[in-house]
Amino acid sequence: MSENELTDLQQAIIGYDTAKAVKLAQERLDTGVDPTKVIEDELRPALAIVSDKFEKHEYFLPHLILCGETMKAAAEVLTSKISKDQIMQGTIVIGTVAGDIHDIGKNIVTAFLESSGFDVHDMGTEVPPLKFIDKAQEVKADIIAASALMSQTMPVQRDLLSILTERGLREQYKVMVGGAPTTAQWAEEIGADGWGEEVGDAVQKAKELVGAD
């Protein structure tokens, strides 16, 4: 996507104009556009451009922080009004893995899982494997979902699965992994039960794993 093909909302995110991004996200909602579409077709590609700029040293960490905050604010508007499915689908413990503070995607996935009828326990960021497992035992979770946004933190997803196996708990929980650098192949390699490229896949996969679809 070239920069002159960007939508106004994408320009606001890349230009870290939070007030404008929030206003435009609200306008999208008011016209009845599917919030998932706005997230996947506009917000994520905008952050991919931010990421490119960061790699090319056109943007630096402060820009990444500002664009991340703008994206977060727009995503919060878009996920605020999603209607709740009244049928309880299952219990999920979700978090971003240890060493990783990225939570925008994880928060979006959480909001949509909740709206799809899951009881979601969000552990936040930098969650070590044992914390996921302790919480899953406490709330009798069906699924543990782990997000990783960096190649350096992806191995924590593998650790989570290994520790579950070591403790004889692997059969008790379905494990889903996701986050931009992860792939279906990675999920298969580490023995996860599910992977989702984006929020729609995450919800679909979670439903399949609890036998609701």
Q: Give the footprint of ligand B12 on this chain (CB under 6 A).
A: 44, 47-48, 50-51, 54-55, 61, 64-65, 68, 71-72, 99-106, 108-109, 145-147, 149-152, 176-181, 196, 198-199, 202
The HSE-up count of residue 60 (CA atoms within 13 Å, CB side) is 1
- Residue 114, exposed/middle/buried by CB under 10 A (0-12, 13-18, 19+)? middle
Q: Least distance in Å: CB of 57 to ligand B12?
A: 11
Q: Least distance in Å: CB of 147 to ligand B12?
A: 3
> Rounded distance, CA 94 to CA 110, Å?
7
* 29/66 with CB nearer ligand B12: 66
Q: Quickly tell me which residue has 């543990």 as its tokens.
A: 144
Contact by Cβ (8 Å): 24, 11? no
Q: Least distance in Å: CB of 145 to ligand B12?
A: 4
Q: Return the sign of the alpha-carbon dihedral for residues 73, 79, 81, 86.
A: negative
* 39/168 with CB nearer ligand B12: 39
* 24/71 with CB nearer ligand B12: 71
* 104/127 with CB nearer ligand B12: 104
Q: Least distance in Å: CB of 52 to ligand B12?
A: 7
The HSE-up count of residue 15 (CA atoms within 13 Å, CB side) is 13
